[in-house]
């Protein structure tokens, strides 16, 4: 019985297994159908995504071309010896421009000098009228300018807007203050009442502006505005990656009433065209890397012309133990990642007090992970992309080396090719050590290294431990103490409870770098007076310092000694 029961159970089991097998086979066939359907849907979805992306890129290119036509006009047909320019947003070719020859540069300089003579003789009231008209045109052409700047430089729209605001504010500031800065100044003469001494200002003549690619409007035009107000002619050599924005600015200035020969643009490499331009100039304004800046400054010195240069930085931000955490996080985001970190005053080092490390760093990393990287001509992205593949490789090399040697990425750390060919995720690193390049070299990308500190003295030592000295930031509730800390930091600008905009946008105050971060200043009185030559004119009435013919030299010397000793005791005599 047991055997029979066993055989029956075995048959029943075989039947159940057979039925299950048929059901499994049926389900497998059905799953196969679903899988094929899902695969088909996935392929269709992927195809739609590619089509949507391609359409979005086409829209960006179309808007960029429309902005170019609106601001500059229809480009000339391509010919030989032209520089091709590509959009970092889409990889599409924007156009090609003629490369200036030595003969072109000499002719440009000749025309500029002719126009400058008449411009210098033009009353200051008429010169600043051009600046006011330019300011108005910037806002009238806002949308086209934003599209062009984004298309050519790859930045987010909010960062492009900063450029418009900066140039408009600079034009307004010098339109309102140039006459006061340039006015003749009376100074105490050699002999009170008998010597009338005045300081008069002459324009330098021809100013060369060599501008970088990261802020193609601001750094081409905002440095030219005070030079023009002072009566100079300006020739700009924009970066080869972003020449169209400078050309658009020229068209706006000409539409504002400026003689076309007073603001000209020459296209080409820095080593050839830039060097030839410096040879023709009476003054040089350069913005770029410290290495190139040292070379062009040496060339200017060899020609015995003045120069001003804003160069590289490895800027630092301090979060003190009493800082407002939420406000510090928001401020640090902007300080580190504006223009995807491609900003000479951007923060690349952050020092956080140990007392707030566990609150600040996770909140900061979380906020960074939520940032939106994009390539659209809209307001939806927090960051744009890097300018080109070479810059992408530099940023990636710095980050990869740091990670390979033990650093940790709390956010980002990788390129984002699905967003754009040169997109890189905003990156927060900890555990960075001295043997890593990101510790000391300027990365110029969306990367910040965060370090703990125990006391303010340690933080200040760390901030100053760099060959650069451009910008710094301190976050604290104690503003008075923050000012005291700021005075110990070796940087041309220090912002308290702000990353960089507070100092940069204070146009009445000078802006520039210490140490290897530059020489000279932009903004304020220094930003316009550097484009002038001072001339002292002294008128002597009656007797002067030299002995009159009727008085012996020894007697005169005794008299002068008594006079000088007496005036030395008068408070404020030499003011």
What is 196-214 written as a DSSP string?
EEEEEEEE-SEEEEE--SS
Give the pLDDT of residue 3.
Answer: 32
Query: Which residue ranges make up each domain of the chain?
Result: 1-62, 93-185+198-311, 315-516, 545-575
* Neighbour tally for 180: CB within 10 Å: 9
- The tokens describing 365, both together, are 């990393």
The pLDDT averaged over each successive group of 10 residues in the chain (575 residues) is: 33 42 49 47 50 78 97 70 92 95 97 99 99 98 99 98 98 99 93 88 99 98 99 99 98 99 97 96 98 96 98 99 99 99 98 99 99 97 98 99 99 97 98 99 99 99 99 99 99 99 98 98 99 97 77 85 81 70
Give the pLDDT of residue 24.
Answer: 47
By CB atoms closer than 10 A (0-12, 13-18, 19+), residue 299 is: middle
344 catalytically annotated: yes
Give the pLDDT of residue 19.
Answer: 44
- From CA 207, how far away is CA 234, in angstroms rounded? 5
Give the pLDDT of residue 553.
Answer: 85
- The tokens describing 363, both together, are 């909140």
CATH class of 93-185+198-311: alpha beta
Give the pLDDT of residue 546.
Answer: 78
The single residue of 162, 336, 344, 348 carrying the catalytic annotation is: 344
- From CA 10, how far away is CA 20, in angstroms rounded? 15
Mode of pairing for the β-strands spanning 347-353 and 315-319: parallel
- The tokens describing 61, both together, are 């290119």
For residue 315, the number of C-alpha atoms closer than 13 Å in the C-beta half-sphere is 34
Task: Indicate the SS3 state at residue 312.
Answer: coil
Handedness of CA 435, 438, 442, 443 (dihedral sign): positive
Which run of H or of E encompasses 117?
A: helix 102-120
- From CA 450, how far away is CA 441, in angstroms rounded? 15
> Quick one: angle between helices 157-182 and 142-153, nearest 10?
110
Give the pLDDT of residue 549.
Answer: 74
CB 92 within 8 A of CB 61: yes
Give the pLDDT of residue 192.
Answer: 77
Place of tokens 């103490």: 481
Give the pLDDT of residue 316.
Answer: 99
Which run of H or of E encompasses 536?
A: strand 532-540
The partner residues of 95 in beta bridges, in order of sequence, read 85
CB 335 within 8 A of CB 344: no
The single residue of 141, 162, 280, 310 carrying the catalytic annotation is: 310
CB 197 within 8 A of CB 71: no
pTM: 0.89
The DSSP output letter for 539 is: E
| DSSP per position, 478-534 | -HHHHHHHHTTS-SSEEEESSSSHHHHT-TTS-B--EETTEES-BSHHHHHHTTEEE
By CB atoms closer than 10 A (0-12, 13-18, 19+), residue 77 is: exposed
Q: Do domains 93-185+198-311 and 315-516 have the same CATH topology?
A: no
Give the pLDDT of residue 550.
Answer: 77
Give the pLDDT of residue 266.
Answer: 98
By CB atoms closer than 10 A (0-12, 13-18, 19+), residue 2 is: exposed
- From CA 396, how far away is CA 413, in angstroms rounded? 8
Handedness of CA 108, 111, 114, 118 (dihedral sign): negative
Domain range 315-516, CATH architecture: 3-Layer(aba) Sandwich (3.40)
Residues 6+ apart with CB under 8 A from 408: 429, 430, 431
| 480 alpha-carbon distance from chain centroid | 29
- From CA 569, how far away is CA 573, in angstroms rounded? 8
The partner residues of 409 in beta bridges, in order of sequence, read 429
Mode of pairing for the β-strands spanning 82-86 and 93-98: antiparallel
For 293-301, which contacts have Cβ atoms below 8 Å and span 24 or more sequence positions?
Answer: 293/518, 296/210, 296/270, 297/519, 299/275
- From CA 2, how far away is CA 7, in angstroms rounded? 9
């Amino acid at each position: 019985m047991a055997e029979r029961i066993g055989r029956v159970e075995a048959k029943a089991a075989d039947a159940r297994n057979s039925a299950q097998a048929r059901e499994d086979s049926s389900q497998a066939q059905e799953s196969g159908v679903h899988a094929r359907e899902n695969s088909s849907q996935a392929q269709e979805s992927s195809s739609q995504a590619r089509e949507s992306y391609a359409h979005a890129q086409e829209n960006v290119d179309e808007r960029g071309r429309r902005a170019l036509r609106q601001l500059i006009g229809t480009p000339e047909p391509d010919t030989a010896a032209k520089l091709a320019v590509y959009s970092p947003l889409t990889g599409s070719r924007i156009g090609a421009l003629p490369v200036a020859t030595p003969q072109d540069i000499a002719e440009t300089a000749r025309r500029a000098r002719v126009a400058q003579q008449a411009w210098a003789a033009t009353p200051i009231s008429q010169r600043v009228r051009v600046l006011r008209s330019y300011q108005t045109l910037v806002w009238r052409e806002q949308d086209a300018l934003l599209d062009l700047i984004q298309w050519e430089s790859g930045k987010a729209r909010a960062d492009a807007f900063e450029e418009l605001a900066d140039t408009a504010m600079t034009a307004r500031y010098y339109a309102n203050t140039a006459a006061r800065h340039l006015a003749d100044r009376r100074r105490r003469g050699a002999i009170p009442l008998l010597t009338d001494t005045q300081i008069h200002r002459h324009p330098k003549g021809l100013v060369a502006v060599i501008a970088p690619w990261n802020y193609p409007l601001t750094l081409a035009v905002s440095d030219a505005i005070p030079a023009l107000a002072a009566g100079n002619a300006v020739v700009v050599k924009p970066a080869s990656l972003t020449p169209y924005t400078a050309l658009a600015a020229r068209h706006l200035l000409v539409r504002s009433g400026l003689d076309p020969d007073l603001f000209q643009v020459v296209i080409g490499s820095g080593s050839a065209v830039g060097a030839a331009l410096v040879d023709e100039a009476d003054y040089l304004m350069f913005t770029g890397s410290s290495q190139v800046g040292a070379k062009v400054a040496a060339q200017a010195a060899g020609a015995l012309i003045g120069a001003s240069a804003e160069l590289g930085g490895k800027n630092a931000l301090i979060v003190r133990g009493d800082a407002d955490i939420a406000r510090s996080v928001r401020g640090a985001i902007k300080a580190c990642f504006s223009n995807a970190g491609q900003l000479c005053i951007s923060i690349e080092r952050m020092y956080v007090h140990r007392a707030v490390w566990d609150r600040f760093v996770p909140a900061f990393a979380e906020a960074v992970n939520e940032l939106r990287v994009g390539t659209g001509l809209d307001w939806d992205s927090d960051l744009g992309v890097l300018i080109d593949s070479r810059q992408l490789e530099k940023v990636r090399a710095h980050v990869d080396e740091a990670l390979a040697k033990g650093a940790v990425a709390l956010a980002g750390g990788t390129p984002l090719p699905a967003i754009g060919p040169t997109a890189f995720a905003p990156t927060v690193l900890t555990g960075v050590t001295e043997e890593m390049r990101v510790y000391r070299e300027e990365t110029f990308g969306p990367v910040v290294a965060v370090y703990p500190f125990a006391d303010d003295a340690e933080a200040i030592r760390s901030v100053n431990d760099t060959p650069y000295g451009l910008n710094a930031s301190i976050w604290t509730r104690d503003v008075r103490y923050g000012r005291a800390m700021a005075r110990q930091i070796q940087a041309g600008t220090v912002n308290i409870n702000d990353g960089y905009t507070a100092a940069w946008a204070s146009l009445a105050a000078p802006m520039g770098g210490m140490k290897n971060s530059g020489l000279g200043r932009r903004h304020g009185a220094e930003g316009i007076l550097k484009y002038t030559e001072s001339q002292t004119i002294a008128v002597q009435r009656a007797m002067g310092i030299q002995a009159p013919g009727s008085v012996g030299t020894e007697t005169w010397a005794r008299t002068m000694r008594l006079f000088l000793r007496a005036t030395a005791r008068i408070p404020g005599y030499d003011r």
